[in-house]
Each structure stands twice: as C-alpha cells, then as structure tokens.
Amino acid sequence: MRQQRWWAVLMVAGLAVTGCGSAARTESPSGESSQKQQEQKLVVWDWKSSEPAAADYIEKAKADFAARHPGVTVEFVAQPFDQYYTLLGTAIQSGKGPDVMLFNGGGQIRDRTDALLPLDQYVAEDKSRLAGWEAFGKDGKVYAAPVTLQGHPIYYNKALYEKAGLDPANPPKTWDELVDSCAAIKKATGAKCFALGNKEGAGIQFFMSGLGSGILTPQEYDDWVAGKRDWSSPHVRRIFELWKEAQDKGLNNDGANSTAMFNDIFPVFETGKAAHIIGLMSDIGHWKDFSEFLPPDKLGVMQAPVAVEGATPSLPYDGGIGYAVAKWTKDPQLAADLVRSLTSTDALTAFYAKAGAIASDTTIDVSQAGAAVSGIVQEIKTGKPALHVALSSKTLDLMGRLSQQLLSGSATVDEVVEQLAASDRAG
Amino acid sequence: MRGALTERLAPYVLVAPAVLIILVLRLWPLVLGVNFSFTGDGELNGTPVGLGNYVELAGDPLFRTSLRNVGLLVLLLPVAVAIPGLLATFIYLRVPGNRVYRSVYFFPAVLSPVIVGAIFNLMLGFDGPVNAALGALGVGPVDWLGDPDIAMFAVVGVHIWATFGMSLVVFLAGFSTLDASLLDAARVDGASLRQSIWHVIIPSLTRTIQFVFVTTMIGMLTSMFGLLFVMTNGGPEGSTYLPEFYIWHEQGQMNRPALASAASTVLFVVMLVVGLLQISLLRRSGRQD
C-alpha cells in the first residue's frame, strides 16, 4: 500500500515537471476563470522605470491610470537593457509574461508582432497628438504607442567653429563645405571632424540616417522607407563611399572600430576632440546629455550636408520607444488604457523635462530649452523616418560588421553593397 | 514481508533524487532543445524544418568564425598552461620576492570577467595607457580591440591573465609533492636551469600538467563569454565570436531561438568530443602511475 502511494507521488511529480518544459508555443493557455476572483493586476516590463530621470514620468502615468481604473495594481519590472530582448524572447516563447512592454521602434518590434496585440482601435484618439507611429507599425497595423521620438540630428560644437574663424550660426550646407570647414577646424584646434564610435556597428546606422537625406533624392528616400530599396542606385552606393571617404580623409577620430557608441564616443565630442557628432534625440547622446560640458549656447544642430544634387535635407526620426500590449493579456482594453496613460501629455511632459527626451507629444512647449532643441522640434513636421530603421535587424547586424570592414579596408564598397542587397532581399 | 519490500525499494528511493534531477533538469531539456532545433523561427515557429537550421549554420560565416576561434583556443592552450607553469617554477625556485608574487599572481583570479573586461577596455583603448606607453617607446599605436587580426589574441591574453592564478596554485600544489633531492642532485651534477626544468621538473609534474591542461581547456571553452561581451561584443568584423556568444546573439538579439538551439546542439557535440578526449587522456595518465 505504501509503495503504491510512493509511486503515485513520483509519477505526479514527474508529470508536473515535464509538463512545464514543452517547446515553443504560439498561443498561451489562459486561466480566465480564476482571474475574475482575484484583484486585477497588470505587469509592465521595460528598462526605463528604474532610472531616476524617469521617476516623475512613471509616477504621473500611474496616477493617470489609477484615476481611471482604481483597484487595478500596476507593477513595473525594470529589466537590464542589454538582456531585455533576450528575456522578452523567452517570455514570448513560453507564451506568458508581462501584459504591457516597452519596445524600441523599428526592427525590434516588427520582428515580434506575432506576440503583440494591434492597438489601432484603442489609440485612435491619440493618433494626431502623438508623432512617431510608423516605427511601431507593420502591415498597416499599430502595435505600440510612441513615448519618445528618436532620431539622428547632427550636433556641432560652436566653440570650435569660433576658434577656427567660422561662423557658428551658418554651419556648412554641402558635403564639400563640411570637409573644408573640418580642415579649418583641424588646423586651428586639432579637433577631428566627426566623433565616430563603431565598435558595436552602430556608427554606420547613425551615419546612414544622419546624412542620408543629403545623399538620396526625396523620391529615393521615400521609396527606401516604403520598402522599395534600390541597392544598385549610385546614390545608395554613395552613402557607403562617403563612409569610407570620411575615414580615408582622416575626418573620424582614431580607433573608431574599437570605440563604443554607447558610451565611449560622446565624451570625445563633449570635450572638444571632435567638432561634429551624429547623435540622438532621446535617452542619451542628446542635447541635455551634452549640456554638462557644452552649454546650450555652444551646441548647434545642423541639417544633413548635401552631397548629391537634388537631395533635400530633412530630420531623420522615428518613434523611439513605445509601449505595446501582449497578445496573451487577459483584458486587452485595460492594458491598452495603461498604454494610453503612459503616453498622456502630463506624463510625457515630465519625461521631457527630467530626462531631456524629445517626447512624442507634439503639444509640449520646449521654448525654454535652447537653440538645439527648438531646432530639432521645428524639424519634426518636415522630418522623415530614418533610413536604417527600415532595415531588418539581421541586415543591420550585417551592416555593422561590413562597415567595420570598410573602415579597416578589408572590404570594398561594391562587396558591401552587394551583400547588404542580398540580405535585404532575403528579408 | 513488509520489511523485505521496503528493503528492496530503498535503493531506488535513495537514488531517485539524483536520477530525477539528471533526467528532468538535464536530459529532458536537452532532448527538448535538440527537438526544438529542428523547428523554424518567426512565422515558421513550431513547424518542423528538418535540418534547415543546421544547413543555415553551415552557411553562416559568423558561425564558422566562431568554430574557427574554438580551434584557435585549442592551439593557444599550451601557452595558457606554460605561463602559470613557468611562474610557479620561479616561485618554487625562490626567486627574490617570491612571496609577494604568489599573492600578486593570484589576485586577478578573484575578479569577475566583467570587471576585468572593463579594466582592459580602458587599458587597451586606442588612446589608452598601453598605446601611450608604446608611443613613448616609439612604437606606433596598436588598435588592440579594433583590429580583427589582433582582437581575439588580445581577449585570450586578458583571459589568461585573469585566470592563470588558479592554475598557478595547482602547480604550486604539484611542486609540494616534488622530491627536492632530485633537484639538488641535478644541481650538484651541474645542470642548468633549463635542463633542470626539462629533465626533472616536467617529468615529475606530468599529472599536474595534464590536470591543468584539462581545467584550462574547460575554462577557455566555457567562460569567455563575459570578457567577449564587455570587451569586443563579437567584433570587430565578427572576428571574436565564440559559439556561446553566437548562441546568445541569435537567441536574444536576432530573435532566432530555434537557430540558436541548433548552434547549442553543435556546441554540445563539440564539448562532448572534447570532454571524452580529456577523460581518456586522464585515464591513460592515471594508468601510467
């Protein structure tokens, strides 16, 4: 009798453990029935909520949500960013995890839309107030609401311009002028033209997007973003030629391939060792980040220098980060409401003021923050999605490695363009 | 009757925890992982694709680089063993200051790879102190972590620096079993330092050396991830990928868990072969004594 009980216990234990380990599932089994009795709870995953600069933002968003849904608990789980998508991938594989989660716009969210809920019906009211939706959409559906805008303005150091006898109010308009100005700056101050960090392969992404509108014609640019990318076009080729040319002419700082974009290169710009940097609008590497060393009156933002006739410079930007709702959430309406609270004007104003992020809300007043910021915000209306965001993460990964080869001289522009075209076609 | 039954079952009950842990937490996930590697990613999630992932791996230059780098690690193994061996010999022969060296050598072994990586990121930076020192000597700067032909050696060098302390301790333990009269006899016979090392010390320490070989190999193949992650992130040009890093990259960054499973399976087979070779090596040396 006793042995039988033993075996039963062993069997049950065995079955219980093995049952947990089944392989990939696309749909999750949801325990709807027990949920109703429990207090409702939403879990949010992100990498922002633990940052002191985001504390006000999260507080405001929580208050806004609590006012609309009293009695619902919201738990923010801040994950380390470098492990974020690994952890999220595991959650998606198992079909359970957070109800609401933060995403970077572009490839990171598009690769994972299978696990996300289309938000169009829930966020219709916010569509005109917020900018940057395209980065979170796929096949005509929107999967996340933008919190910040992310883009690649070209910042320049006005103090270095003054020292070189150049007019800081009139930055170069064409690529040739830029090269000339840089020569003058180099002569007068010893500073390099560009602060470039390409250790992670991110430098080429910034370069492509920051300078792209000065290289492609408006038609080519729009086609590129729309997915009709003509890799055989001489202008597309020109992007990579300029990348190589900048290196060969000594415009970049030394050791670009071993200098990390995050975060070794920003000090090079801040401390005046390079005159320009293709930076960011939100998170880091932006106007507020630089302000410790470069006060607002010494920091300028310029448009992409024109390298090809017919190109019209525009600010490259997209939705930077945005909150999405998981497919497996029990109450989609509730989760979507939390996303709306996280993108309310009050919350986003706090984010802009504390973290220096360019928020997605176009109704925020930024007139106090200096020339660089108003320069960026003015351009939002005419801005276009950044070129590199249109590429898949696989192609971006490849582009990072190939760009390093271009800098070191172990690959030619033709080889690089050919490989990228193949990767882009494969999707 | 009842007592006999209990007695008969007792051994099974006693081994059950160990067997269950191995079955449930080791073998079962392994089977799942291998099974998973025959399915697709993304839209093909869950659908069988046969050997598709393995074919893709074979055609992926990045994965081939990572396997080549495993080969490179095996080739560099003698260096990784010789360094602590030599330094332990000097300590054993009581070079001046040997007590200080003993603790200094061991110190890096207590640092986590992330900290070591961060330190050497600064040291080996293009405008870092190492290049500054080289510049003072009139030697041009070296892009330690930015040159694809150098980066892997730089990382392995740092790994050896960070871990040789452990092997050094093992060597010192080996030396404590060494018969000092043999060395004295060699010295009386007029043997040079090199001759005593070659003809007395190495033959006496065969087992220690083999043990260090095996542990160093395991260390190199399994614990380089932290350093790679911090120092090179697989770059430049993908030249410092190791299979572990590749698996992490495909799973977490590229959202290709099934492909990562296939790579894990390949790594498992590689480790299995290496492990079996090591076991047979240790067995053979055990028999000799």
pLDDT tens-place string over residues B113-149? 999 999 999 999 998 999 999 999 998 899 999 999 9
In A, minimum Cα distance to B258 occurs at A24
Q: Which residue has the higher pLDDT, A6 or B179?
A: B179
Cβ-count burial of B14 within 10 angstroms (0-12 exposed, 13-18 middle, 19+ buried)?
Answer: exposed
pLDDT band at B4 (very low <50, low <70, confident <90, very high): confident
Of B237, B253, B257, the CB nearest to A404: B237
**CATH class entry, domain A154-314+391-426:** alpha beta
pLDDT attached to residue A32 = 43
Q: How far apart are CA A399 and CA A416, in angstroms?
A: 8
Q: How far apart are CA B67 and CA B238, in angstroms?
A: 12
The average pLDDT across B47-52 equals 92
Of A26, A112, A393, the CB nearest to B46: A26
Coil, helix or strand for A274?
strand
Q: Average per-residue pLDDT in chain B?
A: 90
Is the CB of A397 less than 8 angstroms away from the CB of B146? no
pLDDT attached to residue B210 = 87
State the ipTM, two decimals: 0.84
The DSSP symbol for A72 reads: -
The average pLDDT across A3-19 equals 44
pLDDT attached to residue B183 = 87
Long-range contacts, stretch B37-40, CB < 8 angstroms, 24+ apart: B37/B258, B37/B259, B37/B261, B37/B262, B37/B264, B37/B265, B39/A23, B39/A24, B39/B258, B40/B258
The average pLDDT across B273-280 equals 85
The yes-or-no verdict on residue A313 having pLDDT over 50 is yes
At residue A110, what is the residue type? R
The answer to whether A213 and A313 have CB atoms below 8 angstroms apart is yes
The yes-or-no verdict on residue B265 having pLDDT over 90 is yes
pLDDT above 90 as % of chain B:
61
Coil, helix or strand for B86?
helix
The answer to whether A47 and A82 have CB atoms below 8 angstroms apart is no
The yes-or-no verdict on residue B261 having pLDDT over 90 is yes
Give yes or no for A264 touching B (CB within 8 A). Answer: yes
Give how far B254 is from chain A: nearest CA, Å.
Answer: 6
Q: pLDDT per residue over A23-59, tens digit each? A: 443 333 444 444 444 578 999 999 999 989 899 999 9
The yes-or-no verdict on residue A347 having pLDDT over 60 is yes
Q: How far apart are CA B155 and CA B130, in angstroms?
A: 15
Q: What is the CATH number that goes with domain B57-288?
A: 1.10.3720.10
Cis peptide before B35 (omega within 30 of 0): no
**CATH class entry, domain A41-150+318-375:** alpha beta
Q: Could you tell me the pTM of the whole model?
A: 0.82
Give how far A125 is from chain B: nearest CA, Å.
Answer: 32
The yes-or-no verdict on residue A9 having pLDDT over 80 is no
Q: Which of A142-156, A235-249, B216-230 has the lowest mean pLDDT?
A: B216-230
The answer to whether A175 and A305 have CB atoms below 8 angstroms apart is yes
Q: pLDDT per residue over B182-191, tens digit each? A: 888 998 998 8
pLDDT attached to residue B97 = 87
pLDDT attached to residue A404 = 96
Q: Average per-residue pLDDT in chain A?
A: 88
pLDDT attached to residue B285 = 67
The yes-or-no verdict on residue B231 having pLDDT over 90 is yes
The average pLDDT across A242-256 equals 95
Token code pair at residue B277: 């070779």
pLDDT attached to residue A390 = 87
pLDDT attached to residue B2 = 66
In A, minimum Cα distance to B16 occurs at A10
The CATH 3.40.190.10 domain(s) of chain A lie at 41-150+318-375, 154-314+391-426
pLDDT attached to residue A22 = 38
Give how far A24 is from chain B: nearest CA, Å.
Answer: 6
pLDDT above 90 as % of chain A:
67
pLDDT attached to residue B64 = 95
The yes-or-no verdict on residue A332 having pLDDT over 60 is yes
Instruction: Kindly list the residues from chain B whose CB atom is less than 8 angstroms away from the CB atom of residue A18.
Output: 24, 28
pLDDT attached to residue A37 = 41
pLDDT band at B289 (very low <50, low <70, confident <90, very high): low
The yes-or-no verdict on residue A134 having pLDDT over 50 is yes
Give yes or no for A258 touching B (CB within 8 A). Answer: yes
Give how far B277 is from chain A: nearest CA, Å.
Answer: 32
The yes-or-no verdict on residue A376 having pLDDT over 60 is yes
